[in-house]
Amino acid sequence: MAWAIAEFDGRRNICPLSWQMIVSKRPPMMAICLKPSRYSHNLIVNAGEFVLAWPGDNLADITLELGNSTGCDVDKFTANKLTTMEGEFVRTPLIRECIANLECSLVKQITTGDHTMFIAQVMAVWVNQNPQRPLCLVNDYAGYDQLGEKGGYRVGAVRKRLR
Ligand SMILES: Cc1cc2nc3c(=O)[nH]c(=O)nc-3n(C[C@H](O)[C@H](O)[C@H](O)COP(=O)(O)O)c2cc1C
């Protein structure tokens, strides 16, 4: 799972997403799906870009908080003490605490039933030198350390195996 970061006209936001995937190798492209009711949705439409950031297992509680609050009411960056970095290609900020940040430039949007699929070209990738285990959405306990649950979302990380 990942966080979509969006910024437009001085308004910024973070939206956790489990619906994201690679859709092209050359050029590198990613797709994400957002409900139109998300505050982030129109920020992405208007900005024509977003950042896709991967949280580590140290960000489980914050991920659940980000996904159970809305940018309409709160600045999720300051409320969760997250720090930002500047990218090279996009104006949207990157999140310093995440394992990796992808700068994404919007190519196409498709309405898919009750969600919008945003397809974007990856312009740059930033990887944290000291990564944590990637945080995952957990449907089945087997093989995962469960790290938190809120609002119907359960998150965890793949269990380390010792030989
Ligand atoms: C683990 C997790 C995964 C989520 N995946 C998605 C997703 O793929 N698409 C989506 O639209 N919302 C998803 N959500 C819900 C949004 O993150 C949530 O509604 C959030 O509060 C929207 O914030 P916003 O209104 O500030 O944009 C997910 C939430 C969590 C906690």
What residues does each domain of the chain span?
Answer: 2-158
Spacing, Cα 142 to ligand 1 middle (Å): 24
Q: Is a pLDDT exceeding 90 seen at residue 119?
A: yes
Average pLDDT over residues 100-115: 98
Query: Please, what's the b/e burial string for 91-127 (b: 16 or more CB within 10 A of its CB; e: otherwise)?
Result: ebbbbebbbbbbbbbbeebeeeeebbbbbbbbbbebe
Q: Is a pLDDT exceeding 80 seen at residue 163?
A: no
What value does the mean pLDDT of the chain take? 95
Q: Is the pTM of this model over 0.85?
A: yes
- Specify the pLDDT at position 93: 98
Mutation to probe ligand 1, out of 18, 50, 73, 76 (largest number of atoms < 8 A from CB): 18
Say which CATH architecture domain 2-158 belongs to: Roll (2.30)
- Specify the pLDDT at position 156: 95
Spacing, Cα 25 to ligand 1 middle (Å): 26
Segment among 86-90, 114-118, 138-142, 154-158 with least mean pLDDT: 138-142
